[in-house]
Amino acid sequence: MVLLISKLGAAESQLIEAVKLFFEERDPISIHTLASAASQIVQDHFNEQDAQKYQLFLHHDYPSPEDRKRIHDDKRRVANFLKHADRDRNAKLEFNPKDTETDIADAIRCLGILKGIKYAMSIPELHAFDLWFFIQSRAQNMHLPIKNEELYEIFKDRKKAGYLEVIETFRKNPEIAESMELQNETN
């Protein structure tokens, strides 16, 4: 069977699988590779002007240009390490799986900008991850705006594996997912 896929279709597929593996707490390297590839595809759809308009992390004034370059270089170093061995077959790399969480969240945000936030949140896996990431960020006192305080209370103690159940609930009852919107529409 031959598949005809678009770049955004590939990114969406990679993100969905990365999220499922993430919530199943499977291999962090495979999750990161999928998330990093998806993140690169969606971010490549933005030019510098669009990136500033939407305040995309690696294009925006925050963090500083020097920090932005360092972060970008670190991300590329990890992604390249996981894809290539032509120059450094025996190299080793310190890898922090926590970095994958922001790659997934950034890729979901970019996909939401490109295809519409309602579209991105109509995909149960992406909506469940968005919810999980939001709750984790709130737990770390990042003071994100909350549309529904009850929502935070319900989900704040849920473990990763519990979000597999959230995905199934969203799949079976899309109206529940629609009532749990966390992100604001992007201008």
What is the reported pTM? 0.78
**Distance from the Cα of residue 120 to its chain's centroid:** 11
Mean pLDDT to the nearest integer, 13-42: 94
* pLDDT of 152 higher than 70: no
* pLDDT of 117 higher than 60: yes
pLDDT at position 185 is 40
Q: How far apart are CA 120 and CA 130, in angstroms?
A: 10
Q: How far apart are CA 112 and CA 7, in angstroms?
A: 15
Comparing 9-13, 46-50, 80-84, the range with the smallest average pLDDT is 46-50
Q: How far apart are CA 112 and CA 85, in angstroms?
A: 34
Q: How far apart are CA 81 and CA 75, in angstroms?
A: 10
pLDDT at position 184 is 40
Give the number of other Cβ atoms within 10 Å of residue 7's Cβ. Answer: 11
Q: Which two tokens stand for residue 100?
A: 């994958």
What's the pLDDT band for 59 if we cut at 50, 70, 90?
A: very low
What's the pLDDT band for 133 if we cut at 50, 70, 90?
A: confident
